[in-house]
Amino acid sequence: MPPRSGQPAPQWSKKDQAYMKEYLESHPDNRMAWYLLGKQYERSGEQGKANYCFNQAGDIYKAFENEPLPQETVEEQVKEQMERERRRRTKARRLRAGLLAILFLLLLVLLPGGEAAAPDGTRLRVQRDKAPSLATPQEEASGGTFYRLVAAGDDEGYARALKRILEKERKPGGKDAVVRMEADEAWLIWSRKPEPVLLASTPTEGGPIEMLPLAEPDCRCEEERLAVSQGAAGWAVASEQRLIAKSALTAYVKQGKGAPDRWAAMAKAYPANSVSGTSAAIEQAYAEVLQVYRNGMGRGSKRKRNEKALSRMWADEADPFREPIRIVVDKKRHRLGVVSGGILLRNYEIGLGGSRTPKGKFVISEKVVNPNGSSTGAFGSRGMTLSDTLYAIHGTNEPDSIGRDESLGCIRMLPDDVEELFDMVPIGTEVSIESDVLPGELRIPEPEGRYRLDLTPKQDNPGKVYRWLD
């Protein structure tokens, strides 16, 4: 018999334990034997083995210990944890739904003529008394959906997007999608796969706007979330093309030239290669932004008309980018960023010259393919002169120098990186050389996602020997 409570149990020898295990192999249904073996394991500090034996002892363990089996205790703990998690999620869901409803109601107070229906699960319906409006070019190109970008964690930006949705004159069947991208330090990180956050839909037959929070884990909206994800990916690619087209048009006009009718007119042989080449996608994007630019022209002198047209073009709500492309060089982190306002599109690793690389602002004043007649020479396959100086952004035949201060002052890039940059930025692009301004994480597309144009012939310059400060 087992010892009575409070009495010390006799210690078994290894021989005794071996005998009991052998006995149980022949008598696996003897619950008392399982209990006794478990007690010995427990006293020797082997709790895992003890619990296994106690579970096999079943009711014998319960009778002597007056407590549930170890496995029942674990199961109960798991159930309690799951119940706590269920209550937490329910509370959080109700809180989110309540906050969402309060937010929309507050917005409606600011917007005369509106009324809201009670939330239906995670959906909220808002009635606005505004006449239907025509679709914007962006909505027509994206299947009737207007996309709005916010940074992850930017609650104020999200609230502004909601306010614009409610203020907007809507057409029956129109949709607004709020999508978000991650942020890194002060930058919003551009992605071709934005995360859907919210979908606002107006029924074809008219009626209240339905708000569907796509980012909520409990939202029963898989079909809508997938549709917005796919549409947002196409919107992101098209927005990037429009940014490049707008930037090239802006740089061209600011040089005192008239806006050309076609993109290809800017993609000529050296030295008239404001842009490096062309493609069907960029030609289409340029046609769209050129129309917006020309529609924005008012009266006055040529300079004022151009300034007004450019200002209106960059204020177009259909695009997430509100400023031309710039290049930012970070001397501390050896990074070169392609940015528009606070949005970071690319972040390349580069080689520099330490104190020999000057801080300051420059512009790309010249672009050349295969400097000094070679794609494998010291300057690689591409070069971009900075403000008619001996400083340049160019390739290198010393890839191990990337990430280091080994140049005489120029900015060295790897071949794929400098060729993509060459295609993205026009002559006239601003270059700012600073320190500690870019994130450390690289932001470079996969090879198939690189931005590429069909290169215009004769962009080399055989009549000149380049002596950049490599």
In whole angstroms, what is the distance from residue 351 CA to residue 411 CA?
A: 6
- The residue annotated as part of the active site, out of 219, 221, 334, 394, is 394
User: Count of CB atoms within 10 A of residue 436's CB?
Assistant: 9
- Reference 349, options 283, 296, 415; nearest CA is 415
In whole angstroms, what is the distance from residue 306 CA to residue 322 CA?
A: 17
394 belongs to the catalytic site? yes
Residue 279 near residue 454 (C-beta atoms within 8 A): yes
- The residue annotated as part of the active site, out of 53, 219, 221, 410, is 410
Residues 6 or more apart whose CB falls under 8 angstroms from that of 362 comprise: 386, 387, 389, 391, 430, 431, 432, 433
Neighbour-count burial of 401, counting CB atoms closer than 10 A to its CB (0-12 exposed, 13-18 middle, 19+ buried): middle
334 belongs to the catalytic site? no
Q: β-strands 392-394, 183-184: how paired?
A: unpaired
Q: Write the DSSP string, 22-80.
A: HHHHH-TT-HHHHHHHHHHHHHTT-HHHHHHHHHHHTHHHHHHH-S--HHHHHHHHHHH
Instruction: Report which residue type is found at 283.
Output: E
What Rg, from alpha-carbon coordinates, does the chain have? 34
SS3 241: helix
In whole angstroms, what is the distance from residue 173 CA to residue 186 CA?
A: 37
- Reference 150, options 134, 166, 164; nearest CA is 164
Long-range own/partner contacts, residues 437-440 (CB < 8 A, 24 or more apart)? 437/328, 437/330, 438/187, 438/328, 438/330, 438/333, 438/335, 438/337, 438/344, 438/347, 439/184, 439/185, 439/187, 439/189, 439/333, 439/335, 439/344, 439/347, 440/333, 440/335
> Which of 46-78 are b and which e, b meaning 16 or more Cβ less than 10 Å from the residue's Cβ?
eeeebbbbbbbbeebbeebbeeebbeeeeeeee
- H and E: helices and strands count for the chain: 11, 18
In whole angstroms, what is the distance from residue 300 CA to residue 306 CA?
A: 10
Give the length of the chain: 470
In whole angstroms, what is the distance from residue 423 CA to residue 454 CA?
A: 9
Residue 176 near residue 148 (C-beta atoms within 8 A): yes
Task: Name the β-bridge partners of 181.
Answer: 151
In whole angstroms, what is the distance from residue 188 CA to residue 345 CA?
A: 9
Which residues have a catalytic role annotated? 394, 410
